[in-house]
Structure 1
Amino acid sequence: MKASDIMTTPVISVRPDASLHEIVEVLLVHRISGVPVVEDGKVVGLIGDGDLLHRYEIGTDHWTDYRTWWQRLTRLDPAPGAYVKAHGGHARDIMNRDVVSVSDDTPVAQIAVIFEARHIRRIPVMRNGQMAGLVTRADLVRALSKSSALAADSATSRVDDESIRKQLLTELNAQPWWSDTWSNVFVQEGVVSYVGVVQRTSDREAARIAAENIPGVRSVEDRRMTYGDWQPMF
């Protein structure tokens, strides 16, 4: 799944000279939590609801009172920039200029990593230098919902036991926590059974999840002994 599969389009945007009132109206009317700032087709910034938290109009602009003493004495003092964001009346004053974007063929897995690593909630999707869409965390949730619905539909169809076992072993053998030396898998009428020896409780949980994600699996039984409780007979 790629960015183009889940992105929101067309994208609602504002100009750099859009007033604070215009920005707030866009967010409220369209029921969105953020909006890109676009100039000549280029994304020059992003404004999220978090950028509007500290505003003098509602008396929430005093967070800079909590600056540390060394911030006050160095160029790292956030007060000037915070003042601009709290008192500025246009998008160019409020927006976050550190924009992270992706191409429309970027894998969704990579987008999720960017969301987590950069602590951001929305990413512009670019195509040929122009913004083609916007991916938000909500878009990822919607993609998950569709994927879960498809998985539920496929789970109702009958899958033979050997196919289930082959798919499950392919998944298990790709995982660092699985050892086919100490564990084995059997499938009968859609019921997956693990036998052998397991080292950790977390290994049991991971194996259960791996099996439950295979279409056609009805239930999972883990009959393996825990390492430490098992003593070899010699």
Structure 2
Amino acid sequence: MTIEKIMAKDIVTVNKDQTVIDALKLMQKHKISRLPAISPKTKELVGIITEADMAIKIASAKYEEVPLTHMRISTIMTSDVITAAPSDSKLQVLKKMVDNHIGGIPIVDDGQIVGMITKTDFLKDLTDDVYTETSIKDILTKRVVTIGPDERFVHARRLMKDNEISRLVVVDSGTIAGIVTDKDLTKTIIDFKKRVPEKYQATQIRNLFVQELMSQTITTTTKDASIADVANTMVSEEFSGIPVSDDKNKVQGIITKSDILNFVYDHSRKRGNY
């Protein structure tokens, strides 16, 4: 089956000359985490911007003194975009996503974007026995990067950047208290830059704490849950990662879309007809 059969054809794009605020508004409106950036003249793909890009770069020292109204998409987007063609097979596109550790690929035909494929598209309808009968304990990430609610925003950002991850599990007195995602970081820093005068931002950013931006009401799962059930929860609740806990709400690991996608790819490659 070609990727054209399952790709999203109603693509949301952003002009590379628009601001990061424009990009964030589009992401929130359409409930997406990445936007292909296009040239205003040719409409051709010139880059891609993700929530992770915004979370890490907006608050970095390099852009610390740049007003949000002056921060263009072209400044922080990834210019070297990995793409696929409509005629590529699902397995070919899956391989690109797994090999390059990316969550979405624009589908390009003759220089123009004609579709978009994301991890979520591959996590829908995992009804084969291998997915309903295999528990996540076989594929979850056991090494979990955690942070305390009293830690600072800047520390959370640094942990996510250094570990190349999109979420931190917040642990208080040994139990799961919340989760912080790159979306939380992005929203927090943009709100902060809007309300705090520029001359005070460098000092006052250290007064932002994890407990102020973390999601306190979170969904957890157990090691015995099936891959299919967890994938269904991720798709329906729009989660990209779910903490795995025991009966005392202590962290046992974390399961992400990437973990499941890797399993789907391995299974599909062995089956040979995807």
What is the TM-score normalised by the length of structure 2?
0.44
Shift of 1:118: 1.1
The whole-number CA distance in structure 2 between the counterparts of 1:104 and 1:111 is 10
- Deviation for aligned residue 1:145: 1.7
Return the match for 1:95 from 205, 214, 221. 214
Q: 1:28 aligns with which of 149, 153, 161?
A: 161
User: Are 1:52 and 2:172 an aligned pair?
Assistant: no
| Segments ≥4 residues shifted beyond 3 Å | 55-62
CA contact (8 A) 1:18 1:90 kept: yes
- How far apart, CA to CA, are the structure 1 residues paired with 2:185 and 2:217? 17
CA distance in 1 between partners of 2:207 and 2:263 (Å): 37
Q: Cα deviations across residues 14-49 of structure 1 (Å, max 9, x unaligned)?
A: 011111111001000000011110112211101000
Task: Give the CA RMSD over aligned residues.
Answer: 2.4
| Alignment partner, residue 151 of structure 1 | 271
Q: Which residue of 1 aligns with 2:60?
A: none
How far apart, in 2, do the equivalents of 1:131 and 1:59 lie? 31
% identical aligned pairs: 20
Cα distance, 1:140 vs structure 2:
1.1
What is the 5 A alignment of 1:29-178?
29-56=162-189, 61=194, 89-129=208-248, 130-152=250-272
In structure 1, the residue matched to 2:39 is: none
Alpha-carbon displacement from aligned partner over 1:64-113 (angstroms, at most 9, x marks no partner)? xxxxxxxxxxxxxxxxxxxxxx9971111110011100111001111111
1:61 Cα deviation after fit = 4.7
Specify the code of the residue in structure 1 equivalent to 2:230.
I
Counterparts of 1:87 and 1:115, CA distance in 2? 33
Q: 2:270 & 2:210 partners in 1: Cα distance?
A: 41
Distance 1:43 1:59, change over 3 A: closer
Matched pairs, number: 131
| 3-state SS, counterpart of residue 104 of structure 1 | coil
Shift of the 47–150 alpha-carbon distance from structure 1 to 2, 3 Å rule, reads same
* Aligned-partner Cα distance in 2 for 1:116–1:60: 32
CA distances 1:160-192 after superposition (whole Å, capped 9, x unpaired): xxxxxxxxxxxxxxxxxxxxxxxxxxxxxxxxx
SS at match of 1:50: helix
Does 2:151 match 1:6? Answer: no
Q: Distance in 1 between matches of 2:175 and 2:156?
A: 18
2:253 partner letter: G
The answer to whether the 8 Å contact 1:12/1:36 transfers is yes
Pair 16,58 (structure 1): closer, same or farther in 2 beyond 3 Å: closer
Distance, in Å, in 1 between the alignment partners of 2:149 and 2:171 is: 7
Distance in 1 of aligned mates of 2:210 and 2:219: 18
Equivalent residues of 2:146, 2:169 under 8 A apart = yes
Give, in angstroms, the shift of residue 60 of structure 1. Answer: 6.0
Q: How many angstroms does 1:150 deviate by?
A: 2.6
Unaligned runs of 5+ in 1: 63-85, 153-211, 214-234
1:116 to partner: Cα distance? 1.4
The answer to which structure, 1 or 2, has the higher relative contact order (CA under 8 A, 6+ apart) is 2
The verdict on how the C-alpha distance between 1:15 and 1:142 changes in structure 2, with shifts beyond 3 A counting, is: same
State the structure with more CA Rg.
Answer: 1
